[in-house]
Amino acid sequence: MSGSSILWWLLAANITAQLLAWLWQVRVRHADIADIVWAGMLALNGCVLFILSDASWHHRYVLLIIPVLWYLRLFIHLLSRYDLQHEDGRYQYLRQHWHQSTQLKFLLFFIGQGVLISLFSIPAWVLSQEQSELNALDVIAVMILIVSYIGIWLSDKQLAQFKKKHKTSGNVCRIGLWRYSRHPNYFFEWLHWFAYPLLVSGNDWSWLLWIYPFIMLVFLLKLTGIPFNEQQNIRSKGEAYRQYQRETSMFFPMPPQTSHKE
């Protein structure tokens, strides 16, 4: 399979996977499966691109880190949290907001998720064709990946430990990385996207890959990530979370501030 044709096959597979996820959602009335399929298909796309890659050896094997290992970790993490008794607050909100033609709107949402999987697989496709020699930018990119992977793994672990220790919903996690950012897991997810353009710096497609960190930043800050998360935390934690907002950076890790209530 040559050229960009693999992207069309992957697009068909990604949309099909999300259509099957939508059917499961119709049956169980639980939309968290969309996130699980998102992560799983990104990892699977990476596996396919790795197998078909004709890139130089170091670029080819980086595909096993991003997206395969990166999204396999997320897939396992989301699967371990999957609970049919509790749907994520984002999807509960959408069910209330989409009170008419709910399943049709969810269908379009799931199809859109399939398209986005393919959109975010394009950097891996570019990487799978990169044949340049190992250089300093490749080393920097791998260092970014290592830092990002450790950061996101550590932030998820710290949050899980906090939730295990504090069962009530009104408590706010401020331990470890969560002391410096309200969303350190999202920050490190965003950070790893800078590795792609560095890995293919001399490629004709490198300009496109520099756009991805900014696309992801918009998604996280304005669309699918932080806004829904913040709204849900305010609903469940109230003033404790508002205090956390006043004292802790929303995204970029920074020293916490002391707030003064008026």
What one-character-per-residue DSSP string does 45-61 give? Answer: HHHHHHHH--S-HHHHH
pLDDT of residue 262: 41
pLDDT of residue 102: 93
CA 203 to chain centre: 25
C-alpha distances out from residue 220 to 186, 199, 214, 227, 228, Å: 7, 23, 10, 8, 10
- Are 130 and 55 in contact by the 8 Å Cβ rule? The answer is yes
CA 196 to chain centre: 15
**Neighbour-count burial of 8, counting CB atoms closer than 10 A to its CB (0-12 exposed, 13-18 middle, 19+ buried):** exposed
**How many angstroms separate the CA atoms of 247 and 256, rounded?**
6
pLDDT along the chain (262 residues), means of 10: 82 98 96 97 97 93 94 93 88 88 96 97 95 94 96 94 81 94 96 96 91 94 86 88 94 84 44
- Are 147 and 217 in contact by the 8 Å Cβ rule? The answer is no
DSSP 8-state assignment for residue 114: H
Instruction: Please state the pTM of the whole predicted model.
Output: 0.88
- In 3D space, the residue among 160, 201, 200 whose CA is nearest the CA of residue 178 turns out to be 160
% helix / strand / coil in the chain, to the nearest 5?
70, 0, 30
